[in-house]
């Protein structure tokens, strides 16, 4: 039986680890030809090799116009088309707003917002020339609930939700644009924040109705759905996958 993404070509920014890697694996398992991205070409190629013969790696800094073009062109060069583009590359900054430097602010905004604009524009241009495609952005529950000491991250993710809606309205019907808003996920990023004493995963699990944080592959299913024909009439939406976090209510102490 063929997969839900059989014959599709998907490029995923920031897909060498974490949620992006889980999405790449899920797409490959559903039959897609996957373009893996990292800033480092060797890393992207290594991960693509692990996914199998239907995958290639592209090293590119997607915060630049040249990098965004390189990733999209990499898909076109390898497979002749681009059906799905996932904006997953991102970074978090945790710390008091009064202590945040302009450089720290700019670093978050550049990767979490500007890269989404650059890559989406490049992908939509390519998709529109051949009849359409799908763009999926990675937002966060922090787009909807205020988390102290996360000013740049929360602001950037709230912007991604609005960017998703505007792009969807502008580019319909040829290009569908949606977003996924994960809650807390077991990734290298959350592990680092916990090790630095800036995140208490036990407390997070305790106030999440599901009683735990998510594994990356549990988030990836939402991307597969949005990329597939099952979501053919879904655009401009943000799918929250948070184990009930927002339904329970935000707690500013975490």
Separation CA 198–CA 239 (nearest Å): 27
Separation CA 166–CA 71 (nearest Å): 23
CB 140 within 8 A of CB 83: no
What's the sign of the alpha-carbon dihedral 23, 28, 34, 40? positive
Separation CA 56–CA 47 (nearest Å): 9
CB 161 within 8 A of CB 219: no
Look up 153 and say whether it is catalytic: yes
Separation CA 75–CA 58 (nearest Å): 9
Catalytic residue (one of 153, 184, 223, 225):
153
Residues designated as active site: 153
């Amino acid at each position: 039986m063929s997969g839900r993404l059989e014959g599709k070509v998907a490029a995923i920014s920031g897909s060498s680890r974490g949620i992006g890697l889980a999405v790449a694996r899920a797409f490959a398992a559903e039959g897609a030809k996957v373009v893996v991205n990292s800033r480092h070409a060797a890393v992207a190629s290594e991960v693509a090799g692990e996914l199998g013969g239907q995958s290639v790696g592209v090293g590119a800094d997607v915060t630049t116009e040249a990098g965004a073009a390189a990733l999209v062109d990499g898909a076109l060069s390898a497979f002749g088309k681009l059906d799905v583009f996932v904006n997953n590359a991102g970074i978090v900054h945790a710390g008091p707003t009064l202590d945040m430097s302009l450089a720290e602010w700019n670093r978050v905004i550049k990767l979490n917002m500007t890269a989404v604009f650059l890559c989406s524009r490049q992908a939509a241009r390519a998709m529109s020339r051949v009849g359409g495609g799908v763009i999926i952005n990675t937002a966060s529950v922090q787009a909807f609930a205020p988390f102290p000491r996360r000013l740049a991250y929360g602001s950037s993710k709230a912007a991604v939700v609005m960017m998703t809606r505007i792009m969807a309205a502008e580019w319909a019907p040829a290009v569908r644009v949606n977003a996924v808003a994960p809650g807390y996920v077991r990734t290298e990023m959350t592990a680092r924040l916990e090790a630095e004493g800036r995140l208490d995963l036990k407390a997070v699990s305790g106030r999440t109705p599901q009683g735990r944080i998510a594994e990356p592959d549990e988030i990836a299913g939402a991307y597969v759905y949005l990329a597939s024909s099952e979501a053919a009439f879904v655009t401009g939406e943000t799918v929250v996958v948070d184990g009930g976090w927002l339904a329970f209510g935000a707690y500013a102490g975490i």
